[in-house]
């Protein structure tokens, strides 16, 4: 229950970051950088009476209905929450904190800050095994009927939206929007990797028993122990291998410093860990 609440809190944080990036930076500068938000911006240009948030909400509802009919009920509650929540968050910003003109006249600055803020938000959402729907659903439909890879289908749908943006708002804006799609993907990947990073720690020490006890009892992590022989000394020693998050590694490092100043430690970054104590191998 506590884990689920934490997930939804993080998804909500991600939703408002994405909404802020889109509404305060991308929309005022007509930077339709793919997705349902980009398509909503294009439609809003021709029908200003329809707010971007309301358009996104309507399109997402239609897409979910089509997806349930065409693909089946394969969309989790978190994705539905994130998708409808994003539309609602933008609508709230339009009503509560509206802006009349772009925060800056520099298109590149608007693109940079809009994509950076929304990209971080998207990364947080994806890291909780959710998505904001939209073009993800379009990509799945294209994949089903035309047997095109989902990644390529997603790129196609976003490219078509940026093409529409170029026709609607001008060639220069369209080029910036396409650049935004590319940068957005890089930022999302970086955020997901950054949030998921763990430390794999290998330890050789005369105090292996005490260190093992500390890892298991104080940090609550498992340890793999195997014997290894040093090529130079010919001595056989225990090698400890464990995986933990960054905070736990700092505690372990301080403990080893106090326990054995001659310990040999190697540390490497692990971008994803599946299994006991970490992310489930099969997620709902």
CA 115 to chain centroid, in Å, comes to: 13
What is residue 73's predicted lDDT score, i.e. its pLDDT? 64
- For residue 272, the number of C-alpha atoms closer than 13 Å in the C-beta half-sphere is 10
Rounded CA gap, 32 and 39, in Å? 7
Rounded CA gap, 111 and 27, in Å? 10
Neighbouring residues of 270: CB distance < 8 A, sequence distance ≥ 6: 197, 198, 199, 200, 243
H or E segment to which residue 255 belongs: helix 246-259
Burial readout 215-250 (b: 16 or more C-beta within 10 A, e: otherwise): beeebebebeeeeeeeeeeeeeebebebbbbeebbe
Domains and CATH numbers, the chain: 2-195 (no CATH), 197-270 (3.30.70.120)
Sign of CA dihedral 258, 260, 261, 265: negative
CA distances from 263 to 76, 134, 199, 225 (A): 47, 52, 17, 15
Question: Quick check: 39 and 62 in contact, CB under 8 A?
Answer: no
H or E segment to which residue 124 belongs: helix 107-127
Rounded CA gap, 24 and 103, in Å? 7
CA 229 to chain centroid, in Å, comes to: 42
What is residue 169's predicted lDDT score, i.e. its pLDDT? 86
CA 19 to chain centroid, in Å, comes to: 15
Report the chain (284 residues): mean pLDDT per 10 consecutive residues.
83 94 89 82 89 85 80 70 87 86 88 91 83 74 73 75 86 85 79 82 94 94 93 91 92 94 93 77 58
Dihedral angle computed from the Cα positions of residues 45, 46, 47 and 51, in that order, rounded to the nearest 10 degrees: -20
What is residue 155's predicted lDDT score, i.e. its pLDDT? 74
Question: Quick check: 42 and 165 in contact, CB under 8 A?
Answer: yes
Rounded CA gap, 191 and 174, in Å? 26
């Amino acid at each position: 229950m506590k884990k689920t609440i934490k997930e939804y809190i993080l998804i909500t944080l991600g939703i408002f970051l994405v909404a802020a990036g889109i509404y305060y930076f991308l929309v005022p500068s007509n930077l339709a950088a793919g997705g349902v938000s980009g398509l909503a911006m294009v439609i809003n240009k021709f029908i200003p009476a329809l707010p971007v948030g309301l358009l996104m909400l309507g399109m997402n509802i239609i897409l979910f209905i089509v997806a349930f009919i065409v693909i089946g009920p394969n969309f989790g509650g978190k994705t539905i929450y994130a998708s409808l929540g994003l539309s609602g968050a933008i609508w709230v910003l339009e009503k509560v904190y509206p802006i009349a003109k772009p925060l800056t006249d520099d298109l590149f600055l608007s693109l940079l800050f809009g994509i950076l803020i929304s990209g971080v938000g998207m990364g947080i959402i994806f890291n909780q095994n959710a998505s904001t729907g939209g073009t993800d659903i379009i990509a799945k439909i294209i994949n089903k009927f035309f047997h095109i890879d989902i990644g390529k289908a997603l790129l196609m749908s976003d490219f078509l939206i940026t093409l529409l943006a170029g026709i609607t708002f001008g060639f220069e804006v369209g080029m910036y929007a396409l650049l935004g799609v590319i940068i957005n993907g890089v930022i999302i990947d970086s955020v997901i990797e950054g949030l998921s990073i763990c430390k794999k720690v290998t330890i050789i020490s005369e105090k292996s028993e005490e260190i093992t006890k500390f890892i298991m009892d104080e940090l609550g992590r498992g340890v793999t122990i195997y014997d290894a022989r040093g090529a130079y000394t010919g001595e056989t020693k225990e090698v400890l291998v464990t995986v933990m998050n960054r905070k736990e590694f700092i505690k372990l490092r301080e403990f080893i410093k106090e326990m054995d100043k001659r310990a040999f430690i190697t540390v490497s970054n692990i971008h994803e860990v599946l299994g006991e104590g970490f992310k489930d191998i099969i997620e709902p």
